[in-house]
């Protein structure tokens, strides 16, 4: 079998430190209480906790509360995406309030709530941005986001209290979110809850009936696991208070559920015992692109192995069809065409503590690679550390972000999507070279446009030309096969690729809404990586494909390719510089192009 460019990945994700016991007497004040009196006692438990200064001390706190080990390396625990972000940095992550802080005015409304670690989490920036201040709920149409872990979009009828959109976490995190909500709405009943969001919590700052029903459902379906218990302990060490709904999950029933008229008794209610879901299955031999996400390239038929601990039933889905039981051997037929793509999803389900629990879903994206077709996704690429525009005229490049988590794709850059999207992660070797690309990655050439200006042409990994950068306005760019916007080009001493138009800013990366675009304000820099050869080979030059001719347009006029002629509408031949605004015709090489300048 041929697995082009795959990297053996072991998806062992380890837990944090061992759980400590609940401090003796911590919950004594709850004993013998019910109803509002019990809720007030829970509120009192969090009063006066140690405030962890937001931002400056939140990330150091997260290092003890939200870190897991993946393939022997420390990575952030992100309940909002499957992205794999390793420590020590936290680029591409935000500090997210699971209970939207805008509902009570944020830091200016209640600084303790704003800084409380029990509802703060490291979050993928894009998911955080899409979530906004939407309430939790069941999603009917994930029109805003479906990243394999979090759904955001139109709610199921009756959900969201009338909100246009809701967010729905993966099954393995639904209980975590529910217990964070229970904590916040008992710890901060006096927060200045804003009237415009009363569809979540009513006029009295208490959860609305639809929210109670939803969160109780999530709470019951996703019991407390070892990871959540250990996070509770780690936060207790910092804030000196605990989330009672983790230690005593039944408290939610006494305050909102089936036992609201019953007295809470510490002798009858025992502290929680962890109920751990089965681990996600592993696609053996595939490239690990994120947490429980994999990729591979194939051409000939082969058998893909799915590994799990052997307990429970392995369920598999192919290309979104219904799940079926599997023995863990997936027969993948030979590919019929280059870039043929299939997505395999798998989980393990088994009975745990009297409940049928499903593991996290693992996904493999398999993309065909014809060995007879040009394909740069398996190339080796080295960072360009300093260069002039002339130094960049020979070669093939990648555009990567400063956090190296995103490579520019060939998607976007159309009239309806005026930016270039991220294709996702690349793979690095120990020498800092890129050795594996997502199949949607873009490869670019820096070509002279004359007069010290350059054209940035974009192709896919099979070197099919997709167009050139055309900056048409502030924060607006498209790919165009016929026209482009000239720019100055260089790589500075910090290794940053500086590609600047005479109008409308320069090429940068917006990490909040992952996209490559022309900005006039400061965003995140981008970097160039030059193709040096293919994996397993050395010294192979990129094929110097002839890019189809296009016309450059900027404030100085029209830059026409060699061998073409510019005419005005009167049929008079004109020079491309110093033109009056109007319509011109560029002709040559058997084709003509109408240009509006």
Residue 376 above 70 pLDDT?
Answer: yes
Residue 7 above 50 pLDDT?
Answer: no
Query: DSSP labels for 547-597?
Result: PPP-EEEETTEEEPPTT-EEEETTS-EE-SBSPPSSEEEEEETTEEEEEE-
> Please, are residues 362 and 345 in contact by the beta-carbon 8 Å criterion?
yes
pLDDT digit string (tens) for 480-522? 888 899 999 999 999 999 999 988 999 999 877 788 999 999 9
CB-based contacts of 185, cutoff 8 Å, min separation 6: 99, 201, 205, 206, 207
pLDDT score recorded for residue 492: 95
Question: Quick check: do 282-368 and 376-550 share a fold?
Answer: no
Residue 2 above 50 pLDDT?
Answer: no
pLDDT score recorded for residue 45: 96
Average pLDDT over all residues of the chain: 89
Residue 4 — pLDDT band, cuts 50, 70, 90? very low
CB-based contacts of 595, cutoff 8 Å, min separation 6: 483, 551, 553, 558, 583, 584, 585, 586
Contacts 24+ apart (CB under 8 A), 469-475: 469/499, 469/507, 469/518, 470/553, 471/501, 471/503, 471/504, 471/505, 471/518, 472/418, 472/504, 473/504, 474/504, 474/505, 474/518, 474/520, 475/418, 475/504, 475/505, 475/517, 475/518, 475/519, 475/520
pLDDT score recorded for residue 499: 96
Beta strands in 109-160 (DSSP E): 120-124, 139-146, 151-155
Which architecture, in CATH terms, is 376-550? Trefoil (2.80)
Residue extents of the structural domains in the chain: 20-135+170-255, 282-368, 376-550, 556-597
Residue 14 above 80 pLDDT?
Answer: no
pLDDT digit string (tens) for 164-200? 999 999 999 999 999 999 999 999 999 999 999 999 9
pLDDT score recorded for residue 330: 94
pLDDT digit string (tens) for 90-99? 878 999 999 9
Residue 440 above 50 pLDDT?
Answer: yes
pLDDT score recorded for residue 207: 95
CB-based contacts of 570, cutoff 8 Å, min separation 6: none
pLDDT score recorded for residue 512: 74
Percent residues over pLDDT 70 in the chain: 93
Mean pLDDT on 205-233: 96
Enter the pTM of the model.
0.82
CA pair distance 250, 185, nearest whole angstrom: 16
pLDDT score recorded for residue 546: 66
Residue 274 above 70 pLDDT?
Answer: yes
CA pair distance 488, 480, nearest whole angstrom: 19
Most confident of 109-113, 434-438, 474-478: 109-113
pLDDT score recorded for residue 588: 75
pLDDT digit string (tens) for 562-596? 778 877 776 777 888 777 788 877 877 667 777 77
CA pair distance 576, 558, nearest whole angstrom: 5
pLDDT score recorded for residue 544: 55
CA pair distance 470, 567, nearest whole angstrom: 22
Residue 538 above 80 pLDDT?
Answer: no
Q: Which CATH number does the domain 282-368 belong to among 1.10.12, 2.60.40, 3.30.190, 3.40.50?
A: 2.60.40
Residue 427 above 90 pLDDT?
Answer: no
The dihedrals phi and psi of 115, each to the nearest 5 degrees, come to: -100, 0
How large is the greatest C-alpha to C-alpha distance in the chain, in angstroms? 97
pLDDT score recorded for residue 123: 96
pLDDT score recorded for residue 217: 98
pLDDT digit string (tens) for 112-153? 999 999 999 999 988 999 999 999 999 999 999 999 999 999
Residue 20 above 60 pLDDT?
Answer: no
């Amino acid at each position: 079998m041929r697995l082009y460019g795959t990297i053996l990945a072991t998806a062992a994700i380890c837990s944090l430190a061992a759980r400590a016991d609940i401090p003796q007497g911590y919950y004594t004040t709850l004993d013998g209480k019910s109803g509002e009196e019990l809720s007030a006692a829970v509120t009192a438990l969090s009063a006066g906790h140690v405030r962890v200064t937001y931002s400056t001390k939140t990330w150091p706190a997260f290092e003890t509360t939200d870190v897991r080990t993946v393939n022997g390396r420390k990575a952030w625990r992100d309940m909002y995406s499957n992205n794999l972000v390793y420590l020590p940095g936290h680029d591409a992550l935000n500090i997210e309030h699971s209970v939207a802080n805008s509902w009570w005015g944020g830091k200016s409304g209640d600084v303790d709530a704003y800084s409380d670690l029990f509802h703060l989490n490291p979050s993928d920036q894009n998911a955080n941005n899409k979530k906004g201040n939407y309430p939790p709920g069941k999603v009917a149409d994930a029109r805003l986001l479906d990243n394999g872990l979090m759904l955001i979009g139109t709610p199921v009828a009756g959900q969201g209290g009338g909100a246009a959109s809701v967010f729905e976490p993966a099954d393995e995190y639904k209980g975590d979110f529910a217990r964070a909500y229970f904590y916040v709405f008992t710890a901060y009943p006096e927060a200045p809850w804003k009237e415009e969001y009363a569809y979540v919590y009513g006029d009295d700052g208490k959860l609305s009936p639809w929210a109670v029903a939803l969160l109780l459902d999530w709470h019951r379906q996703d019991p407390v696991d070892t990871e959540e218990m250990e996070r509770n302990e780690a936060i207790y060490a910092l804030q000196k208070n605990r989330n009672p709904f983790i230690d005593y999950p039944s408290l939610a029933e006494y305050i909102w559920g089936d036992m609201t008229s019953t007295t809470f008794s510490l002798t009858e209610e025992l502290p929680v015992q962890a109920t751990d879901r089965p681990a996600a299955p592993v696609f053996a031999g595939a490239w690990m692109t994120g947490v429980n996400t994999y990729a591979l390239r194939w051409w000939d038929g082969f058998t893909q192995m799915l590994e799990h601990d052997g307990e429970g039933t392995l369920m598999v889905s192919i290309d979104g069809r219904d799940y079926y039981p599997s023995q863990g051997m997936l027969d993948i037929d030979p590919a019929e065409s280059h870039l043929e793509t299939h997505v395999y999803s798998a989980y393990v389900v088994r009975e745990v503590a009297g409940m049928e629990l499903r593991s996290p879903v693992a996904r493999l994206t398999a993309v065909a690679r014809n060995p007879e077709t040009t394909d740069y996704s398996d190339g080796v690429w080295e960072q360009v550390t300093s260069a002039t525009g002339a130094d960049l005229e020979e070669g093939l490049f990648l555009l990567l972000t400063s956090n190296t988590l995103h490579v520019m794709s060939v998607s976007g850059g159309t009239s309806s999507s005026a930016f270039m999207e991220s294709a996702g992660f690349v793979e690095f070797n120990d020498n800092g070279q890129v050795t594996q690309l997502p199949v949607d990655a873009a490869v670019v050439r820096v070509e002279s446009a004359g007069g010290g200006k350059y054209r940035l042409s974009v192709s896919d990994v099979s070197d099919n030309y997709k167009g050139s950068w055309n900056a048409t306005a502030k924060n607006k760019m498209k790919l165009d096969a016929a026209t482009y916007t000239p720019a100055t080009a260089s790589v500075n001493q910090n290794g940053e690729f500086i590609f600047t138009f005479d109008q409308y800013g320069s090429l940068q990366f917006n990490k909040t809404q992952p996209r490559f675009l022309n900005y006039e304000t400061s965003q995140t820099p981008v970097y160039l990586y030059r193709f040096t050869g293919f994996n397993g080979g050395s010294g192979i030059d990129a094929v110097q494909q002839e890019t189809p001719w296009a016309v450059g347009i900027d404030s100085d006029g029209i830059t026409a390719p060699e061998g073409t002629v510019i005419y005005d509408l009167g049929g008079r031949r004109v020079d491309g510089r110093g033109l009056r605004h109007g319509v011109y015709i560029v002709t040559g090489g058997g084709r003509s192009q109408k240009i509006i300048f």
